[in-house]
């Protein structure tokens, strides 16, 4: 057989391989119940018990004065265990059970977050009730808490996270962080036919949590809805805008 015939046969084989159905790994939607850190309970319960630990009071100050967030916006927790005392604990809920958590350090230092999360989990998705017209999706927990929306906890949602969001059957509005990595979230938005909102907030406003701290909840939500974009060409331009931020 000539080299030409061998090459032709190879191309035919590759084409046949491409035409075959691809076996896809089934998505794992099961989320198992997990414990919170040791000596952890809601801050409300700590206060009811009369706890006056300086670290607990510092966490309360961080939520109310540093983050400018409402006390009823989240079921804030605190742990008296070593390694967690200088962190605000945010439980992850699914169908009424705890399936993970993150502990955010309230002072400079690393690691900033101590997180126990399951693949495919979308933070606060349980609260996206069916009377909501849109599902707003952000990157971080505090962004989601700020406007009571959903967070993927990264800038690149995995397949299971996308499937969970799409299963709600409502239009999705993605609000990325205003930085270069946020462009990755817009790539996912394009792939999933999601809408995007990138309001022209002031330059020092980097995410939704910053916007709420500056403008308040109502105005932040108004701007997100007002600048909702579904045109893929315009979303591509927004993506390029975020990609260029590191050059500024």
Domains along the sequence of the chain with CATH: 32-118 (no CATH), 119-248 (3.40.1360.10)
pLDDT band at 29 (very low <50, low <70, confident <90, very high): low
pLDDT band at 27 (very low <50, low <70, confident <90, very high): low
Q: Which two tokens stand for residue 201?
A: 């907030």
Average pLDDT, rounded, for the chain: 89
* 185-221 tens-digit pLDDT: 999 999 999 999 999 999 999 999 999 999 999 999 9
- Helix or strand or coil: residue 27? coil
pLDDT band at 117 (very low <50, low <70, confident <90, very high): very high
Q: What is the pLDDT of residue 8?
A: 43
* 3-12 tens-digit pLDDT: 445 434 444 5
Q: How far is CA 144 from the centre of its chain?
A: 7
**Within a 10 A sphere around the Cβ of 18, how many other Cβ atoms?**
8
* 151-182 tens-digit pLDDT: 999 989 999 999 999 999 999 999 999 998 88
* 49-100 tens-digit pLDDT: 999 999 999 999 999 999 999 999 999 999 999 999 999 999 999 999 999 9
**Within a 10 A sphere around the Cβ of 243, how many other Cβ atoms?**
16
H helix or E strand, kind and range, residue 241? helix 232-243
Q: What is the pLDDT of residue 30?
A: 83
- % the chain with pLDDT above 90: 81
């Amino acid at each position: 057989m000539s080299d030409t015939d061998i090459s032709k046969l190879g191309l035919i084989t590759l084409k046949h391989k491409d035409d075959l159905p691809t076996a896809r790994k089934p998505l794992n939607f099961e989320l198992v119940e997990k414990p919170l850190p040791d000596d952890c309970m809601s801050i409300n319960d700590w206060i009811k018990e009369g706890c006056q630990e300086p670290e607990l009071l510092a966490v309360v100050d961080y939520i109310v004065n540093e983050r400018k967030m409402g006390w009823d916006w989240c079921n804030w927790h605190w742990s008296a265990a070593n390694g967690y005392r200088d962190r605000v604990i945010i439980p992850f809920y699914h169908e009424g059970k705890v399936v993970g958590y993150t502990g955010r350090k309230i002072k400079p230092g690393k690691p900033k977050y101590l997180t126990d999360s399951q693949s495919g989990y979308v933070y606060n998705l349980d609260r996206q009730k069916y009377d909501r017209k849109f599902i707003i999706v952000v990157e971080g927990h505090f962004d989601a808490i700020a406007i009571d929306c959903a967070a993927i906890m990264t800038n690149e949602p995995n397949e299971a996270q996308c499937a969970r969001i799409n299963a709600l059957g409502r239009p999705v509005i993605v609000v990325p962080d205003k930085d270069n990595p946020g462009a990755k979230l817009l790539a996912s938005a394009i792939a999933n036919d999601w809408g995007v909102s990138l309001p022209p907030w002031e330059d020092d406003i980097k995410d939704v949590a910053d916007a709420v701290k500056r403008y308040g909840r109502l105005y932040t939500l108004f701007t997100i809805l007002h600048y909702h974009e579904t045109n893929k060409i315009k979303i591509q331009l927004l993506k390029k805008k975020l990609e260029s931020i590191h050059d500024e």
